[in-house]
Chains A and B, each alone.
Chain A
Amino acid sequence: MMLYGPLVVWLGLSFFGPYDVTQGIYSKLLYIHVPTVWVAYLGYTLTFVYSVLYFFTKKHKFDSLAVSNAKSGVVFTVITLLAGSYWGKQTWGTWWVWGDARLNLTAILLLVYLGYIASRQFNKDLGKTARNSSFIGIFGVIQIPILHFSVIWWRSVHQQASILSQETVASGDAPMSTDILLTLLLSVLLVTLVHVFLAKKFRNSNDILWDDYLNPKSRAKI
């Protein structure tokens, strides 16, 4: 219930929200594309933090937290790629631009974290699996700053950041109408909530795996 509340409000907000007059109604994809990719970054950053914590403490709750954030991050990365691609078709005139650094790096980001999830199956021993996966969780985060600055370092099709740019931060003025900006920020908040509850769901299933691993007998009785 907690998961679907913010989800429905967010989708409603995106559907009925204001749009850019030049780009037309498809610019409402902004409310999907931007919050989901930010929250994916948030998820992967938390995966990094919990992977470090797991690596040094070996407490299984940190591993569960790392996995659940990565899984939720993957969900949001897929959504951001789909929404961005559809927006690209409507605005740029193409679904995908192979020469664009930001697009390619986002696709690689998705592959790395799909690899992280796949790495959970590499070893039957959950303790070893968790240790191996934590390396991906730790090193994978390097991609996020590269991704953020990719539109500045490499000149291409993807536009510059509207909110998290030097100009906006320095002047306090985003290149957006206030109603669009507010809708966007509200969407970010709602998607963050969706992420928290989605990650919680994923965490529960991983806690069961750990319970099986640590207390094999208690599960066998059931």
Chain B
Amino acid sequence: MKKNFIVVLLGIGLIIYASTIIASRNTIYYYTTSETTNIEISKNERIKLGGFVVENSISKDAGFTIFTITDGNKDIEIVFDGFIPDLFQENMGVILDGVFEDDAFFADDMLVKHDNEYVSSDGETYNVENYSE
């Protein structure tokens, strides 16, 4: 009984320890566009970059999708070649995986980060002023 009990306690301890380690290593999954000016990024280092797609910035060129994302303070031009999720559109939050080349960000992986808003077809919304992210 003692043996089982110790194994069980060790197991729980291990799981809790592992989950905190795993989670703390991923405190930041992606950088915002403004943050990229403050961090050292070596050439060809892959990073994840998040922001909102700027209106009227999406265009296609030679198989690439080119658009601009912003976090409200800094715009970055994205050259994207990869699978585009259905929800990709203007003003949508996206997370891109790729490398900087000069001032443009070349990405080949995209996630759409949808916020916690749910608005049905009757168009009725909540009070925006009371709500902040």
A interface vs B, CB < 8 Å? 18-24, 27, 30, 90-94, 97, 99-101, 104-105, 108, 111-112, 115, 119, 122-123, 125, 128, 131-133, 135-136, 139-140, 142-143, 146, 150, 153-157, 159-162, 165, 167-168, 171, 173-181
List the interface of chain B (C-beta within 8 A of A): 1, 4-5, 8-9, 11-12, 15-16, 18-19, 22-23, 26-30, 83-87, 95, 110-127, 130-133
CB distance from B55 to the nearest CB of A (A): 15
Query: Are A132 and B4 interface neighbours, CB within 8 A?
Result: yes
Task: Given A115-B11, A123-B1, check contact A93 B112 (CB 8 Å).
Answer: yes
Contact A19 B120 (CB under 8 A): yes
Whether the Cβ atoms of A93 and B111 lie closer than 8 Å is yes
What residues of A have a CB within 8 angstroms of the CB of B23 in the complex? 101, 104-105, 146, 150, 153-154
- Contact status A171-B131, CB under 8 Å: yes
Secondary structure type dominating chain B contacts: loop
B117:A135 contact, CB within 8 angstroms: no
Residues of B within 8 A of A154 (CB): 23, 26-29
Contact pick for B130, options A94, A99, A139, A167, CB 8 Å: A167
Q: How far is the CB of A92 from chain B (nearest CB, A)?
A: 5
CB closest chain-A residue, reference B119? A177
For A128, the chain B residues whose CB sits under 8 A away are: 1, 4
Which 5 A-B pairs give the minimum distances between C-beta atoms? A93-B85, A171-B130, A18-B120, A156-B29, A162-B116
Could you say which residues of chain A place their CB within 8 Å of the CB of B30? 155-156
A139 to B15, CA, bound (A): 11
* Chain A residues within an 8 Å CB radius of B117: 20, 162, 175-176
Per the bound structure, the CA–CA distance linking A99 and B47 in Å amounts to: 13
Show 6 A/B contacts (Cβ-Cβ < 8 Å), sorted by A: A18-B121, A115-B15, A128-B1, A131-B5, A154-B29, A171-B131
Contact check, B114 vs A159: say whether CB atoms are below 8 A apart: yes
